[in-house]
Amino acid sequence: MSDHSLEHTAHGHDEHEHHETFWTKYVFSTDHKMISKQFLVTAILMAVLAMLMSMVFRLQLGWPDHKFPFLETILGKWGKGGKLDPSFYLGLVTIHGTIMVFFVLTGGLSGTFSNLLIPFQVGARDMASGFLNMLSYWFFFGSCVVMCASLVIETGPASGGWTIYPPLSALPQAIAGSGLGMTLWLVSMVLFIGSALLGGINYVVTVINLRTKGMSMTRLPLTIWAFTITAILGILSFPVLFAAALLLLFDRSFGTSFYLSDIFIGGAPLHYSGGSPILFQHLFWFLGHPEVYIVLLPALGLASEVISTQSRKPIFGYKAMIGSMLVIAFLSFIVWGHHMFITGMNPFLGSVFVFTTLLVAIPSAVKVFNYLATLWKANIVLSPAMLFAMGLVSFFISGGLTGIILGDSALDINIHDNYFVVAHFHIVMGSSAIFGMFAGVYHWFPRMFGRMMNKRLGYLHFWLTILGVYGTFFPMHFVGLAGAPRRYYAYTAYSGFDAAININYLISAFAIIGGLAQFIFVINFFYSMYRGKRSTQNPWKSNTIEWTAPIDGIHGNWPGEIPTVYRWPYDYSKPGHDDDFIPQTTPYSETKKSNLAGEEK
């Protein structure tokens, strides 16, 4: 597209703005800025729901003998007499995991920030296809609605864990949640995969085709690199989950035997023969492990950008950062078996997965060292976003290190599926990614809404949350080392755990503190949306070009021509330049004093 036609499009958008109705502006919008807000608000609501669920089951785990009458008020028959029902406990665990992994950290994180930042940071008027983008959101919304609906049906939601291993998830005789609840789960997931694929294709195409003049791939901010790699991971792995879910649907509804064989349940043998439950696990984790990086990479991308900007220092090893993300992404496709060391998989195959899994630690270590090197001799503005980004790095280290233990099959035997794993992935994947998301929200809130979030509440939110996270998940490792399995409603059946289970009390207390702290964020978010201070043009003195667009966000993003880019995004505190930042739109010819050898061609 020539500049002339771009200008024309922008102009056209301006004129249209007068004719926008409520429906085209807020509901069926094709504008990437509005769609990103839709994703964010939906994800926040889903996150609050999933977090409240976790608080309900933490009450059960922390105070198993205590009755909480309010549970009966809110849960009805699932909380009779103030005691949480054991099958609903499993339902809560399942839906908490599903919502957090897919709806908050995949749909919410990528949907919000890929949508917001890709067009803004590559210098595009909008996504390559606004219509597909709108469709992506509405598929996502539909899948959220179906998933929430599964919570309020007679037989209860899917309750075989978020990994929905058959035969448990295939047989309503095995658990009530595998009836209609599981059907709704699968329907919701099919919609979700549709959303993820539509979004992903759009992100990749936009980054490849719609970069502004001068925006070469090596001038892209790390956010964009992270979002692009994430989108490619999603495009390659989600179809496999789709296939796995489809086959499960066939087994459930049409009597096929892809995953089922030799089953005797409910007093009778079933007709299934020749299938393998392990096949499902292979298919599931072929998505499932890249999924971990689909969750984590965008968060790392957001953190890289925030850390560099707020450190007032270029990100250390820009190319190594990209390289390590590419290596992580590649490796993520050949490590899935480490979720399956003790399924009866051939031990030699297990050995191969140990090797590939532990290799992931190398690019991860490079990323951590690069973050630390970026902070060294920096001039760090400790904004709430920066604190959250640093929190992410802290969790990425803590959780990554315990991953070395879990990835080693000989050590995994005794901690597989117990609380050590729960602690590990809540830190490295859950908390890291959610901190990346918070960093993103605090940092780009002014770009989204033209207003600032309240910084004091931001600080309060950060300190209570990091305290809550470490207070919850650090002691949880020891529950695992004591041998306590996960997904247990109570630990009454074996007295050997009595001492260790006392830690649960402490864990639950921290979890509740951390959980309640999130309401500070929710209040701050919605209040600032309408009543926050008006933002300045470039509140964080950032180099990237999204801050050159009008604060209030117009259709087409920039009035007139899209700015041309002359340099990489990390020229912070360059010697010889007066300001501590040089925006990407500043040509080298204007910064003669600070140019390095070879920069001014």
Residue 597 interacting with another protein (CB under 8 A): no
Task: Give the shortest CB-128-to-another protein separation in angstroms.
Answer: 32
From 13-21, 194-202, 210-218, 448-456, give the range in contact with another protein by CB under 8 A. Answer: 448-456
With binding defined as CB under 8 A, does residue 208 bind another protein?
Answer: no
Among positions 14, 580, 590, 599, the unique one binding another protein when judged by CB under 8 A: 580
Q: What angle do CA 433, 311, 386 make, to 5 degrees?
A: 35
Dihedral over Cα of 92, 167, 183, 45: its sign: positive
Under 8 Å between Cβ of 421 and 415: yes
Query: Residue 116 in contact with residue 68, Cβ under 8 Å?
Result: no
Look-up of token digits 């209570």: 464
Of 184-192, 328-336, 359-367, 548-556: span binding another protein (CB under 8 A): 359-367
Contact with another protein (CB under 8 A): which of 235, 474, 559, 586? 474
SS (H, E, C) 407-476: CCHHHHHHHCCEHHHHHHHHHHHHHHHHHHHHHHHHHHHHHHHCECCCHHHHHHHHHHHHHHHHHHHHHH
Window of 29-37, 241-249, 340-348, 553-561 that interacts with another protein by CB under 8 A: 340-348
Q: Could you tell me if 101 and 127 are in contact, meaning their C-beta atoms sit under 8 angstroms apart?
A: no
Q: Does 317 bind another protein (CB under 8 A)?
A: yes
Long-range contacts at 445-448 (CB < 8 A, ≥ 24 apart): 445/525, 445/528, 445/532, 446/535, 446/536, 446/539, 446/551, 447/116, 447/120, 447/546, 447/547, 448/33, 448/36, 448/37, 448/40, 448/116, 448/553
Extract the runs of DSSP E, i.e. beta strands, from 47-166. Answer: none
Are 233 and 294 in contact, with CB atoms under 8 Å apart?
A: yes
What's the alpha-carbon Rg for the chain, to the nearest Å?
Answer: 25
Residue range at the interface with another protein (CB under 8 A); choices 210-218, 296-304, 305-313, 549-557: 305-313
CA distance 460 to 467: 11
- Kind plus residue range of the DSSP H or E element containing 264: strand 264-265
User: Containing H/E element for 387?
Assistant: helix 384-406
C-alpha 498/C-alpha 493 separation (Å) is 10
Query: Which string of x and - marks every residue 405-434 that binds another protein (by CB under 8 A)?
Result: x--xxxx-xx-xxx----------------
Query: Using an 8 Å Cβ cutoff, are 384 and 446 in contact?
Result: no
Instruction: Point out which span in 71-79, 119-127, 456-464, 549-557 binds another protein (CB under 8 A).
Output: 456-464
Query: Comparing C-alpha atoms, which of 114, 117, 118 is closest to residue 137?
Result: 114
Q: Counting contacts by CB under 8 A, is residue 83 touching another protein?
A: no
Sketch the per residue contact string, 540 through 579, with another protein: x for CB under 8 A, - otherwise: ------------------------------x-xxxx----
State the Cα–Cα distance between residues 115 and 127, nearest whole angstrom. Answer: 8
Per the omega criterion (within 30 degrees of 0), is the bond before 167 cis? Answer: yes
What's the min distance (Å) between Cβ of 457 and another protein?
Answer: 6
Q: At its nearest, how many Å lie between another protein and the CB of residue 598?
A: 13
131 binds another protein (CB under 8 A): no
In the complex with another protein, the residue whose CB is nearer, 209 or 218, is: 218
Our finding on whether 361 is near another protein (CB under 8 A) is yes
Binding-site member from 40, 434, 479, 549 for another protein (CB under 8 A): 479
Nearer to another protein, 117 or 503 (CB): 503
Q: Does 82 bind another protein (CB under 8 A)?
A: no
Of the candidates 136, 183, 454, 591, which one interacts with another protein according to CB under 8 A? 454
Q: Does 349 contact another protein by CB under 8 A?
A: no
Residue of 3, 17, 376, 560 that binds another protein (CB under 8 A): 376
Smallest distance from another protein to CB 69, Å: 11
Provide the minimum distance between the beta carbon of 372 and another protein in the complex, in angstroms, as a whole number.
5
Note whether 325 binds another protein by CB under 8 A: no
Q: How far is the CB of 145 from another protein (least distance, A)?
A: 26
| Range 234-263, binding another protein (CB under 8 A) | 253, 255, 260-263
